[in-house]
Amino acid sequence: MRVRGLLLDLDGTLYVGEEPVEGAREAIERLQTSGLALRYVTNTTRRPRRAVCEQLRSLGFGVDEAEIFTPARAAAGLIGDRSCFPLVDESLLEDLREITLDQECPDYVLVGDLGEGFAYDRLNAAFRLLVGGAELLALQKNRYWRTQEGLSLDAGPFVAALEYASGKSATVVGKPERAFFRLALADMGLEPHEVAMVGDDTESDVAGAQAAGLRGILVKTGKYRPEAEGEPDLVLESVARLPEVLG
């Protein structure tokens, strides 16, 4: 497979929990010196980009914050000078500091992954704002993710609950939306056919990238399940094999 750039998923692809995937650091180092353009794309909505970058560096990955693309970054551009009610982890407000926050009459209800913070009162407040006229904006709609304890609910089921209750469809800004991939492609200065997406999620990573014109590489780490393999362009045991197959 010949490409000029790679988009790399993080959790489940470069690391799982607090441990790097075996061989991942060495693979990224080789790719960085190969001349390929690399960008790191994640659907995480619990941490700001600064914290994502700090974690990657603590795990031994030499990554710059500007190379990281998150749904919050995309949402900030979409909301612009309008307002939102943030149903997101408090730490994520760092990436939304230029947006007007409104608890009473927002233009958008913005939903990220709150984990155990998805309490009834917060969901009900969001529901009432949606019924009152706000639009529903989801940072991502993943169904689940893998933690150290096993598979856990992600933001998607709660976004779906708000859609069902309010009768409104969410606009999703993270993977697998084409606009999210285009944001990273524009930063790389490359066309879709010149780039491959590498990840452990058949829907958000592989199918989403393919729909945007990229090639999709599935790794058998993280949330990978054989029965959900889909039709990736390439399947690898892990990201550690990337330099070999792209060489």
Tokens standing for residue 139: 């940072």
- Domain finish residue from 124, 146, 172: 172
**pTM, full prediction:** 0.81
Domain of 125, CATH number, reads 3.40.50.1000
159, 134: one domain: yes
Residues 21 and 15: beta-carbon distance below 8 Å: yes
d(CA 195, CA 188) in angstroms, rounded, equals: 10
Domain termination residue (choose one: 124, 154, 172): 172
* Together in a domain, 184 and 162: no
- The tokens describing 14, both together, are 């470069």
Q: Which two tokens stand for residue 11?
A: 């959790």
Per-residue pLDDT of the chain (247 residues; tens, 9 = 90+): 889 999 999 999 999 988 999 999 999 999 999 999 999 999 888 889 999 999 999 999 999 999 999 999 889 888 999 999 999 989 899 999 889 999 999 999 999 988 888 999 999 999 999 999 999 999 988 888 777 778 888 889 999 999 999 999 999 998 999 989 998 999 999 999 999 999 999 988 999 999 999 999 999 999 888 776 679 999 999 999 999 999 7
The C-alpha atoms of residue 89 and residue 117 are separated, in whole angstroms, by: 8
Is residue 136 in some structural domain?
A: yes
Kindly state whether residues 15 and 27 are assigned to the same domain. yes
Backbone φ, ψ for residue 117 (5° rounding): -75, -5
Per-residue model confidence (pLDDT) at position 229: 62
Within a domain: residue 49?
A: no
Q: Before 106, cis peptide (omega within 30)?
A: no
Indicate if 102 and 20 belong to the same structural domain.
no
Domain shared by 209 and 167, yes or no: no
pLDDT at 73: 87
Q: Which of 112, 142, 172 is the last residue of a domain?
A: 172
Structural domain containing residue 201: 5-43+175-246
Q: How far is CA 189 from CA 38, 124, 192, in A?
A: 11, 43, 10
Residue 57, domain member (yes or no): no
Residues 185 and 167 in one domain: no
Total tally of structural domains belonging to the chain: 2
Same domain, 225 and 142: no
* 208 domain-assigned: yes
Calculated CA dihedral for residues 210, 185, 189, 187, nearest 10 degrees: -170
Give the pair of three-digit tokens for residue 6: 């790679």
140 and 185: one domain?
Answer: no
Instruction: Please give the pLDDT value at position 114.
Output: 87
Q: How many CB atoms lie within 10 A of CB 102?
A: 16
Output the pLDDT for position 228: 67
